[in-house]
Structure 1
């Protein structure tokens, strides 16, 4: 609770290797450890890109966009 996190895109499902994470939105959890993050604009821009792109995965990492820490949660298909 009360810690900063970042919703980001990663090239690998586990968030490791394959290049840096691409931050989409920063947020801080509430006292219950939850948060609502609004990142629809950046995601919509990425989805509508005119050139094909490799698959990427949503991840949550500890820290701020300027200083990302370890990935603590990853997208599951």
Structure 2
């Protein structure tokens, strides 16, 4: 109460144009995965439909600074594949800017590697 001293408080409200926008990416290598980034303004919800990996194994979805997935991996989410070698992985953060819009040293690539976030193995899928 009292936050808007004059009027109904809607004078400067505008629709959030970015909400509802999405970006779709593909990861390939061993198997193929589809990733969708749902834009929520400052953050994005990432949902990955992962396929073609070894069944019932732990993996890490992360970011690499190299297009081939080499170098240090910054973990985003850990997951376990189902008996068919697939998984649905969800996470959120300011991702759109670094996997699609960023230039040069700021650009990052989504990757999937076996193992756990503290010690991921060799990358098996890379963003294309």
Q: Distance in 2 between matches of 1:3 and 1:13?
A: 25
Q: Which has the higher strand share?
A: 2
Q: What secondary structure is seen at the aligned counterpart in 1 of 2:66?
A: coil
Runs of 4+ deviating beyond 3 Å: 46-49
1:12 is aligned, of 66, 87, 92, to 66
Gaps of 5+ in 2: 1-54
| TM-score normalised to structure 1 length | 0.79
Larger relative contact order (CA 8 Å, sep ≥ 6): 1
Q: Distance in 1 between matches of 2:82 and 2:97?
A: 32
- Counterparts of residues 33-44 of structure 1 (less than 5 Å): 33-39=85-91, 41-42=92-93
Q: Distance in 2 between matches of 1:71 and 1:48?
A: 22
Q: Aligned-residue CA RMSD in angstroms?
A: 1.8
Relative distance call for 1:48 and 1:14 in structure 2 (3 A) is: closer
| TM-score normalised to structure 2 length | 0.49
